[in-house]
Amino acid sequence: MPKDTLSITDNRTGKIYEVPIKDGAIPAPELRKIKTDPEDFGLMSYDPAFFNTANCRSAITFIDGDKGILEYRGYPIDQLAEHCSFLEVAYLLLNGELPKAQELSAWKHEITTHTLVHENIKQFIDGFQHDAHPMGIFLSTAGALSTFYPEAKNIFSAEVRRQQIIRLIAKVPTIAAYAHRHSMGLHYVMPDNDLSYAGNFLNMMFKMTELKYTPNPVVEKALDVLFILHADHEQNCSASAMRNIGSSHADPYSSLAGAAAALYGPLHGGANEMVLRMLRQIGSMENVPGFITDVKAGKGRLMGFGHRVYKNYDPRAKFLKQMAYSVFEACGRNPLIDIAVELERIALADDYFVSRKLYPNVDFYSGLIYQAIGFPVDMFPVLFAIPRTVGWLAQWEEMLLDPEQKIARPRQIFVGQKRRNVPGFKVKETSATR
Q: Looking at the annotation, which residues are catalytic?
A: 268, 307, 363
Among 167, 170, 240, CA closest to 201: 170
Amino acid at 308: R
DSSP string of 203-223?
A: HHHH--S-SS----HHHHHHH
DSSP string of 23-51?
A: TTB--GGGGGG--SSTTS-------GGGT
First to last CA, the chain: 58
User: Which CB, 225 or 362, lies closer to ligand CMC?
Assistant: 362
User: Which CB, 86 or 291, lies closer to ligand CMC?
Assistant: 291
Distance CA 263, CA 239 (A): 9
User: Which CB, 99 or 270, lies closer to ligand CMC?
Assistant: 270
Provide, rounded to whole angstroms, the least separation between the CB of residue 46 and ligand CMC. 16
Contact yes or no for 71/77 (Cβ under 8 A): yes
Provide, rounded to whole angstroms, the least separation between the CB of residue 308 and ligand CMC. 4
Amino acid at 292: I
Provide, rounded to whole angstroms, the least separation between the CB of residue 104 and ligand CMC. 28
Using CA atoms, how far residue 295 sits from 112, 176, 303, in Å, is 46, 33, 10
Contact yes or no for 315/356 (Cβ under 8 A): no
Provide, rounded to whole angstroms, the least separation between the CB of residue 298 and ligand CMC. 7
Question: Please, which residues have CB within 8 angstroms of residue 330's CB and are 6 or more apart in sequence?
Answer: 216, 218, 219
Provide, rounded to whole angstroms, the least separation between the CB of residue 346 and ligand CMC. 13
Distance CA 88, CA 116 (A): 21
Distance CA 215, CA 254 (A): 33
User: Which CB, 250 or 271, lies closer to ligand CMC?
Assistant: 271
Task: Name the DSSP class of 231.
Answer: S
Provide, rounded to whole angstroms, the least separation between the CB of residue 279 and ligand CMC. 13
User: Which CB, 61 or 174, lies closer to ligand CMC?
Assistant: 61
User: Which CB, 174 or 371, lies closer to ligand CMC?
Assistant: 371
Binding site for ligand CMC (CB under 6 A): 233, 236, 267-269, 271, 295, 301-308, 356, 358, 361-363
User: Which CB, 182 or 233, lies closer to ligand CMC?
Assistant: 233
Distance CA 411, CA 45 (A): 9
Provide, rounded to whole angstroms, the least separation between the CB of residue 405 and ligand CMC. 23
Contact yes or no for 279/335 (Cβ under 8 A): no
Provide, rounded to whole angstroms, the least separation between the CB of residue 246 and ligand CMC. 19
Question: Please, which residues have CB within 8 angstroms of residue 283's CB and are 6 or more apart in sequence?
Answer: 339
Pairing of strands 61-64, 69-72: antiparallel
Contact yes or no for 261/290 (Cβ under 8 A): no
Pairing of strands 69-72, 75-76: antiparallel
Contact yes or no for 407/247 (Cβ under 8 A): yes
Contact yes or no for 289/349 (Cβ under 8 A): no
**Closest CB to ligand CMC: residue number:** 306
User: Which CB, 122 or 277, lies closer to ligand CMC?
Assistant: 277
